[in-house]
Amino acid sequence: QVQVVESGGGLVQAGGSLRLSCAAFSTVFSVNAMGWYRQTPGNRRVSVATITSGGSTNYADSVKGRFTISRDNAKNTVYLQMNSLKPEDTAVYYCNALMGWGSDEYEYWGQGTQVTVSS
């Protein structure tokens, strides 16, 4: 059984901060890379930040210097600290977890959490 459970999100004024959390649960697979993606109506889902199990990170240019992704491997939990938020950061944020065993790897998504930044 696999679960990806997100928390956090909400409404914040421009310039404010929010923190998203995501925990991945599996009775079978190990959790590899995790990340956050976001999607606005009518647009495709795009990567915001990703982190490997070894701690290597990658950020979208639009969030560099404002967002920080981190993880707790013991808890299979990833965090996204979002500072200096802008109205254009408004979106549904989805957690992504790559889980697998050996050479097999599968992609799992959370249910999404709304982030709204007011101007």
Query: What band does 16 get if pLDDT is binned at 50, 70 and 90?
Result: very high
| H helix intervals, 1-119 | none
Two tokens, residue 1? 């059984």
Percentage of the chain modeled with pLDDT above 70: 100
* Residue 115 contacts residue 90 (beta carbons within 8 Å): yes
Residue listed under structure tokens 């254009």? 88
| pLDDT per position as a tens digit, 32-56 | 999 999 999 999 999 999 999 999 9
Give the strand pairing for 30-39 and 91-101.
antiparallel
What is the DSSP code (8-state) at residue 9? -
| pLDDT per position as a tens digit, 50-104 | 999 999 999 999 999 999 999 999 999 999 999 999 999 999 999 999 999 888 9
Give first-to-last CA distance, the chain, whole Å: 41
Query: What band does 27 get if pLDDT is binned at 50, 70 and 90?
Result: confident
pLDDT confidence of residue 1 = 85
Name the helix (H) or strand (E) containing 12: strand 10-13
Residue 47 pairs with which residues in a beta bridge?
37
* Residue 109 contacts residue 99 (beta carbons within 8 Å): no
